[in-house]
Structure 1
Amino acid sequence: MFSLFFFLSSPPAVIPDSLTVAAPPQTLSQVEGDTLQLSCEVSRATEQHTHLSVGWYLRSPEDAVAPPLEILTLSRDFVLHAGGPYKQRMTSGDLRLDKTSATSYRLTIHRLQPADQGLLYCQAAEWIQDPDRSWFAMTRKQADKTQLRIQPTDRDFSIQVSTERRSFTAGEPLELRCTIDAQSVPERFFSVSWVFSSSSVAVIGPSAVPVLGPDYVAREAAGHMTVRKESPAVHLLKLQRLRPEDAGKYICRVTEREKTPTGDFIDRSKRSRNVQITVQPISEYQHGTLLAPLVVKGLLVS
């Protein structure tokens, strides 16, 4: 006689799907260089020990078929991970993801770029660990999308050198001002170079510390020369006592250093028109007038 024994095991417990992911649908218009903050509410009510991962993604408006681009994700192990083009921006501090409460997450993007434009959305996943210690996502959900439009900043700039006059006599002071005409000058990185007859007079970087040309170090040390940044857009060159050899062409050269989305730097330079300065030496007559002895009523006064 044969007996069949059926060993019936209990069916695996079904974990209810309690994950909710919510963010308001909205359309935002921002200017390049602005800061963007987006919030997302993520919660679940399962009794099992599960972990959450929360991240933001970008879908290009030009290519709806292309896979979404990961911006920044907080993994189930509480590690931040940025997508390819966003890694450098996270490293530089321009990209953040913060948990602001038990259920609230906030994405912050500083210095918005045109490439950030598109559909942004929050996505969360609930993870559970198998007995073999491997993890798998039980469910993934997305919040409503944010339509983000970026208005590019006009990156062009122009420069102009101004002076009250162009003809001087030796010993008089000369003031030249280089003015940068551009959008958002304080937030950009400009270096200004003063050049006289193809020789460097001084260079002022974004830190506003001047580096003098070799022919002008002693002159500045004697207090006969001033180079300074009067405002983010205006730079001054002042020669206190002109010499005949100061006559010639002066120009201002401005270079902007700009960081690309890939983290590289590019430099763009422009120069002003030549400003021709003439310096007349003190004539012998003037020397004689200034230095000749004075005769008063027959008395010689030296």
Structure 2
Amino acid sequence: MASWRSALLWLHWVTPYALCRDVALPPGPLYRVAGFPVSLPCSVSGYEGPRTQDFEWYQYRDDTKGHQIGVISTRDQGFPYAPFQPRVRSGEVRVERDSGDKVRLVVQRLRPDDQGRYECYTPSTDTKYQGNYSASVEVKVIPDTLLISHHRTLSGQPMAEGAELQLTCKAAAQSQQHTHVSVTFGVRGGSALSGAPGHNLREVVSIDRMLAVSPGRSYDRRYRDGEISLEKRSGDSSGDLYVMRIGAVAPEDAGSFFCEAAQWILDPNGEWQRIAQRTLELGNLTVQPLADSLKVTSKPSGEVVLEAGAPLSLTCEVSGVGSLSRSGLLVQWMRRGVASSDAPPGGVEVEVARMSPDGVVSWGDDSSRAGGASMEKEVQGRYALRLFAAHPADSGAYRCVVSVFAGRPNPGSSSPATITQRSEGVTVSFKTKEVSVSAVAELPRGPLLRRGNTVALLCNVSVSTTGRSQAEVRWLLRREVQAEGGPAAEDRPLAAVTHDGLSRLYSDAGELSVDRLTPTCYRLRVHAAQVEAQGQYRCQVEVWSQDPHGGWYNTGARAESLPVRVYLYARAMDLLLIPLVVGVSSALFVGILIIATVTCCFMKRLARQRSRK
């Protein structure tokens, strides 16, 4: 109990001394620029009474010999002296509350005669008069020397999407005090993303008082990609030059651009304060989207009919990109061939060739074309595809597909294209000669085929056409296999004889050989045939013709024979094996039975003889 009484007694004596009113203002002197606002924060602590305190502001000018001039009060509307009455009524001089015990004296536009010492006074609400009830700070009003200018403004003419935009402005502050300048480039309105043209304000990029460059929030990714930059260049007496560059303008960049310069000073409390600011309009930017201007055309248009082996030349023209040297173009030639039974309507579209933005040509569906074709950039915006000897396999609808990387001459492999557009199709067809072909597969007569024998099958081919031709024969084996849904048929390629007489054996086909017995008869042999060689054999034939230049091409004429069934019988030794096994087994059984019977009878007789004795 004694300790509690001692603590209460200590609090009774200490509390009056702990609660001492304290009024605080930032240390001075504070240098501010004429014509621009000043904000003087004042706070009170350690007070008694209501949480909302009143504040009175006074000014002491050098030319009044220390006489105080009432500026404004939070409790008395008639407090301001004559020099401040109209400014207080208009709101140019006002008090703004941050909280009940924190306020700010705001002078919207400083005048030279506003220089002086400002006192913040708080009328007492305490039971005892203790502490300090006012604080003062010196305010120095310096001339406005912040200058901002520009070399040129935007012309207002639309710029193509992907074009480079460069804006400049000069800024300087010729002050006797040590001040720094920051510059910000921004744009108002016009953004398709804002939803409110004319009211959207976006910072593009800025350089702060310590020369650190930072992008606006909506331009951060483009700044990191190197598309946006801001550079300070040393200038003349009129100021330093600030150059802002947008490497590739986009539709969302449209709007009214401005340059804003701010003057900063380091206050005695160690905080930087902006003391002056000016904005310079740089003009309106209108961006023409590539979707509205890009045009991709292929020539010739319509349909091209060729003789087999004739050259094919197609041209792709690209316009409406603006400066082609500043944008990367990926140009592709695509071909949609004739639809097959298992292909979607219109056939499957494949890539024939492409030229990357760095000029490298690669071939798509047929890499062998690299030796018999070319893709070239003839002039800016014109690309040619040439097949030196086109064949019916090249028929189909050709399109030129152009992907534009606006403002990125050398985009990365994963960079998305700004826009991709396709040309109208050019149909390429051929004057083909009449070709008829038939194929008959047969198994020559002979002894029964047994396991381990060589199975020989023949494919007789008949081709009717003009000019030189060759047949390409492929052998297939159809076997029954077990699948999830039950038995199913499986076609397995075995071997082939190409049109130029080469034999081709597939790695999993077993011991096979193929040859051509006569110009119209082809043979397949399966050596040491086993059970897995049983099944239905067919031969497929494709006709190749020779063009006027001596090159061979697939005419597209083909035929398939009816299946021939191959069944392998067991060998003679396999047939004798079962009787032999049965005979040997029977002989052993009979022998064992006889021996067991004789032995049993002998033992019984021996037993009877012993019993008589």
Do Structure 1 and Structure 2 share a fold, with TM-score over 0.5?
yes
> CA 1:50–1:182 in structure 2 vs 1: closer, same or farther (change >3 Å)?
closer
CA deviation vs aligned residue, 1:104-140 (integer Å, no higher than 9, x gap) = 2233333333433333222222222234422222222
| 2:381 aligned residue | 233
Paired with 1:283 and 1:86, the residues of 2 have a C-alpha distance of 68
Q: Of the candidates 216, 224, 234, which is equivalent to residue 91 of structure 1?
A: 224
Aligned counterparts, 1:80-159, within 5 A: 80-102=213-235, 103-104=239-240, 105-143=242-280, 145-153=281-289, 154-159=292-297
What is aligned with 2:360?
Answer: 209
TM-superposed CA distance for 1:10, in Å, is 9.4
- Unpaired runs of 5+ in structure 1? 1-8, 291-302
Q: Deviations over 1:214-251 (max 9, x none)?
A: 4x22242xx322222323433222222233433x2131
- Give 1 or 2: higher helix fraction: 2
In structure 2, relative to structure 1, the CA distance for the partners of 1:277 and 1:182 (3 Å cut) is: farther
Runs of 4+ displaced beyond 6 Å:
none
Distance 1:196 1:209, change over 3 A: farther
Name the structure 2 match of 1:6.
Answer: none
Secondary structure of 2:359's match?
coil
Task: Pick which of 232-241 and 180-189 moved more.
Answer: 180-189
Partner of 1:28: 155
Instruction: Calculate the TM-score normalised by the size of structure 1.
Output: 0.74
Aligned equivalents of 2:425, 2:301: Cα separation in 1: 13
2:398 matched residue in structure 1: 251
CA distance in 1, matches of 2:251, 2:141: 43
Cα deviation digits, residues 180-215 of structure 1 (max 9, x gap): 35443724434322325133322223233222124x
Aligned equivalents of 1:38 and 1:230: distance in 2? Answer: 35
| Matched AA of 1:123 | E
Structure 2: which amino acid aligns with 1:270? Answer: R
Distance (whole Å) between structure 1 residues aligned to residue 234 and residue 211 of structure 2: 15
Larger Rg: 2
Q: CA deviation at 1:45?
A: 2.7
Residues 1:218 and 2:368 aligned together: yes
Q: Which runs of 5+ in 2 are unaligned?
A: 1-134, 191-195, 338-347, 408-414, 434-464, 470-544, 549-613
Separation in structure 2 between the aligned mates of residue 170 and residue 26 of structure 1, nearest angstrom = 61
Give the fraction of aligned pairs with identical amino acids, expressed as a percent.
21
Q: How many residues align?
A: 274
Question: Does the Cα contact within 8 Å between 2:335 and 2:399 map onto a contact in 1?
Answer: yes
Q: Which has the higher contact order (CA 8 A, sep 6+)?
A: 1
Q: Distance in 1 between matches of 2:294 and 2:378?
A: 22
2:198 and 2:385 map into 1 onto residues whose CA distance is: 54
Assess, with a 3 A threshold, how the Cα gap between structure 1 residues 45 and 178 changes in structure 2: closer, same or farther: closer
AA matched with 2:282: T
On the 8 A contact 1:73/1:80 being kept in 2, the answer is yes
Matched with 1:161 is 299
Q: What are the superposed Cα offsets for residues 31-85 of structure 1, whole Å, 9 maximum, x if unpaired?
A: 234444333232223232222211122222665555x321211101110111122
Q: Cα–Cα, structure 1 residues 121 and 284, in superposed 2: closer, same or farther, change >3 Å? A: closer
Contact 2:300 2:426 in 1 (8 A): no
Q: 1:183 to 1:27 in 2, by over 3 A?
A: closer
CA distance in 2, matches of 1:89, 1:131: 39
